[in-house]
Structure 1
Amino acid sequence: MPAPEGLRGTGTLSPGAELAAKVLAYDPRADGSLIERAYALAEEAHAPQRREDGQPYIVHPLAVADILAGYRLDAATVATALLHDTVEDTGVTLAELEKRFGKEVARLVDGVTKLTRLELQSERTKQAENFRKLVLAMSEDIRVLIVKLADRLHNMRTIGAVAKPEKRVRTARETLEIYAPLAERIGMDALKTEIETLSFREMNPDAWQTIAARLTYLRGQGADLIEEIERDVRRVLRDAGVDVLEVQGREKSPYSIWLKMQRKNVAFEQLSDIMAFRVIVHDKGDCYAALGAIHSAYRVVPGRFKDWISTPKTNGYQSVHTGVTVPEKRNAKIEVQIRTREMHEVAEIGVAAHWIYKQGEEGATGRKKRYPWVRDLLEILESASDPQDFLDHTKLELHRDQVFCFTPKGDLIELPRGATPVDFAYQVHSQVGDNTVGAKVNGKIVPLRHPLENGDQVEIITARGGSPNPAWERFVVTGKARARIRRFVHARQRAEQREEGRAAIAKAFRAAGLDFSEKIAEPAVKALKQPDFETLSVAVASGNLSPREVLHAAVPEMRTHMRSVDQMPLARPRGRLGAGPTLMAGKADRAPSSKRDSAMGVTGLVSGMAVHFAGCCHPLPGDRIVGIVTTGRGVTIHKHDCHGLEAFSATPERFIDVDWEYDGGAKGAHVGRIELTAENNAGALAGLTTAIARQEGAVNSLRILNRAGEWCEVLLDVEVRDTSHLAAILAALRACPGVTQVDRAKG
């Protein structure tokens, strides 16, 4: 049977014995027999099974265990890796595992086991439920996450054996959206980089190939450039008297280059720090001495200095980063990372470099202290209304670049880039966030939407009995804050709908000459298959039931005596809180308005009103939008920052508060407008349209605005689903050879 590369030794030992020997080499106190027994059971249980490439299934758990042994994990974790699929895929039970291997291994296996037995409505919901389970499991023991990451790494290494392309892409997307950020959060940078690269290559093979080819070309152009810069950095540090252990030069990964192209909206040629160099020194003092020597010898790139030693990241990462220009080496702009050997080990393998299970000195309290972000995910889990809501908010929490702010007492609060005082308040405590009425930043009162910067001191002003403002959801950036605000909004909307529905039912009863009470309407609850009267009232307010249906279900004999109740006006619920005056709907609006609105992908509109999307700004799902009422034309939807809105500034009553229907997803295609500059050569346009087609976009129109010599400016209208789809197309265009500038058109 084939064994993982790291376990191919002399052949005199079984793979289980080789694995045990590998663990004992770095942890002599480990229970080697536990690993050998775990391998024996896994091999027996998986014996009839084969992977998609035809290999015996035991190859997978053995490879996962070998990855973890490479990270120097404890024997229980390595045994868990060997057994992690036995409960899910074989007849082995948790009770049997606990009897043979103890409670610790059984608990870890239970935490890693996928919930494939759950009968869920969709693949998306299934992913959300599995992730909820993972968060709960890793909150108890972070090793569950480490095993899961190693499992995903091996699956991505062997994803080529999966026959269905759509399954490969789905797995790669899930890996990129969830598991890579989790790996980053526990500091396992090497693993994160590898699964990002593998996922990127699977999801966007054309972009990956383009960037890889350009890196190969650059290597050929400056074959010895990295070695030259390494030697030059060593010389500078030696002349300054800094004792250096190692200088490592490397290229950034294709995926990190792709991300930077998207974030900065630049072409490949405009990136300035494709090369990064790590300087490894003895101690913290040497880190700052090396920094001074490098700044003295080279020109500093402004805005590129970060000190993660004095303010470590929450995952334990420590290093000093700076950007400099090396003039003697063709004016190369490089990033230099300076750290000690211990810091480097933590940076590469994160929690595995100092796992808290080595000595057993820390329990649950220590884990929560070291990984406060897990607690934040649990709070989102409690606040989210459904699994998909939780998954969406958690992605916000995972994908973030940090800023560090301080409370008036000096406590450090880590937040994502672009965070506001409201995000800060919810990070301090959920109740503080709910009661927020104002904020001071560095002693000055600021708007609650004010973006925070590194080093800001933030003081939150609260009021007893306060409540979240629904408008906050538009500018907060943390998943925790958004989940709490949305929870409050849903509760308030339901309360308003309950009262509106109850009033409409009461009006129907009075019109029929009956005194209304909840007791007389009670028979309608069962007849209309509603769990209680509150839910019945909400169904009426939302348009799913009419007051007459409730009346007839409660008092069947009234069915023959009433003909006109359905013409009675009914207060229609507002699409969003604070969306303006209550709108009225009559018989023509019997169909639920929310369903018709979602057909356009927009909520907050009067049912039946014509909707147009502005041609000046081409709004897409994901943009903040506003509606303008135009006599005879209905409502025109604009981006909130569209310059065309200035023409309506004198008539604010024409503005309508609208939003995209995120729950159901925007239906149909929308037009995104793109401006780009490219080389004026044969085949250029064909390359652009091919790149768009590969991203599942469709070109509606293409116009050359200006053609001058070697360059041409092109205006493209492309059918897209939303802003993220447009962003993928923009990134694909930036990767096209000869394209120098790509932007979403402003209007």
Structure 2
Amino acid sequence: MNEAGGEALRPVAGLTDLAARVSAACGHWPAEEHRRLRAVLRHLDARTGAVAPAAWGRAHEVASVLAALHADAETVGAALLHVLLGADADRAAVREALGEGMVRLLDGAGRMGQVAEQRAGTAAASAEQAEALRKMLLAMVEDVRVVLLVLALRLVDLRHAAAIGYERRRALARETMDIYAPLANRLGIWQLKWELEDLAFRYLEPLTYRRLAQQLAERRADRERYLREVTAQLGEALAREGIEADIAARPKHLYSIWKKMQRKGVGFEEIFDVRAVRVLVAEVAQCYAVLGIVHSLWHPIPREFDDYIARPKPNNYRSLHTAVVGPEGRTLEVQIRTHEMHRQAELGIAAHWRYKEGVRFDPGVERKVAWLRQLLAWREEVADGGEFVDQFRAATQEERVYVFTPRGEVVDLPAGATVLDFAYHIHTEVGHRCRGAKVNGRIVPLTHELATGEQVEILTAKAPRPSRDWLSPHLGYLRTARARAKVRHWFKQLDREENIAAGRAVLEREAQRLGVTVEAAALCGRLRQASEDDLLAAVGRGEISAAQVAAALAELGAPPGGRDEPVVAVPRRRGEGGSGEVRIAGVGDLLAQTARCCKPLPGDPVRGYITRGRGVSIHHRDCRNLARLALEDPDRVITVDWQGAGPRRRYPVDVRVRAYDRPGLLRDVTALLAAEHVEVEAARSTGGRRRHETHLELRLHVGDMGQLARVLARIGELPNVLDVRRVGAAGEGG
């Protein structure tokens, strides 16, 4: 490892001392856990080389903190690897020697550490940004033990922050206050929360911290002794009255005292809950009985009694609070509530952290926090670590993603949001002028779905110019209704004549791509428009999408109903490009097959031709071969209609792509088709008529016209593609 701070290096023999100290700290473990720890130490023995003395000490401290939290061997082992090997830990070697769980913990700790790096050099976070950062960290967590590991690392770093520079120390403390202490608070890890807050408070407000410590004028150990005596006295009094209760006491730490002084605008002498006791009982009636016993033991302080059971707080928090003059003349706060009230206060809508931090209610984050806290409580009951991780992962599916701007600010978006959604979230004009994006410094398409923790930079043009394709749902540009509304509004503001021209271009493009011929006027009724101009203007404004146009074009190509002759279902012959059904008027049970010359798809207008010995051949209505056969023998041409394709049915179709030649073009096209679950039967590349131009001729298998329209549109968005269309629908080359 690299030398840290110019310190002398200690040989790897120091690992023996570390192993003994960590094993002693984890003495409560069963034998199996100690076996896992020894495996980690053997892995370290082969890889640490020489390590700075500070690293050995830090590794031991982090392991001791985790041991006090009853962490398992995998968590402690990951902490040792993280501290002693850091980014140099060979993931493949760790996976082989110690398992996938260890790699997951190391990667999780690394990802959470990157948040600090992303924010390095940025200004102190606002309340909204701090909350967004906390949500981001929760969203990144795939294993609850990662949170324990990261909090332990942060606590140990703060304990030794006095040795680092002033600015670095303050930045570390501010980040702890903004992110890590609230996380420990939300997860109920109180033994970390109070120390994180007190240490950060000490570095951020050193004079206030020192003055408050002098006013308190007693060591924490003395307060803890006092509370033990109070708890014992109260417990004996309750037992004499036959009341079963859980009594917990915790001395209030310096930062909490200071916060209360600020919130209430009072001096230190008016803070009565420097020492506090909480009593939990089974029933509401017992709460008031305990209150009477407390007031009989010690003298109550006037105006310091609150009945939040009879009058709950707006967030439904319920409890009895009273302050008394306890033994030795010291003030003491007593909180009394039922177990159910306590669970609601800790995990429900009245969670203590929410009214203290004053943040907006977010159901998705609430569910994850609740699960994190429950899983921390259940961890010791789950014998199988893999089962524990699976429970956590299944229970915490995220509904939001949290990404960084280039300035280190956090943006909160729905899961599945794209970089274009991000651009419109930043500002409407940024979205309108968006022409590209970088994620973590790498150019990505506008359809790139964002993942939590990514940093996004939007590349803009000088003038706004949204694309109507952005409104097409199957192209995947926009996932948020807010962004789509902004694009629609842009097109609505354009001149009507310009919208009509743009709508006509969309209509012609879709008809050309699909190989159909339908007049715009024929679409008005189906798309509920009063006139052809209204239809084209609506398409141009984006109110009617290209996908809707394509579907209407396909439907209008089918022949009208109301035939006089009976209609029967005819199965297609096997081996003819997939299975499907057509309806054939006026014939019996005949075999049917799609014609190889024009390869009609469900939704295409079709006609049937009765062949000699091969059943009925189904042609596109405009197929040139069908026209020739009809001239020779018109009696063999019959009326047919699609009955509807069932699940997994596929039909052959030929597609031609015209593009400027470039490396990887065919690879990109086939990757896109694979993502759309389209089978490629054949592919051929030929030179175009112009220099540097190429043609790709593809034979695909698709389910219907809708899938074909989506595939053609997506291919058309690939770099260097000039044109893409269906060929052979009218029998060219057939």
TM-score (norm 2): 0.43
Look at both structures and tell me which one has the larger radius of gyration over its CA atoms: 2
TM-score by length of 1: 0.42
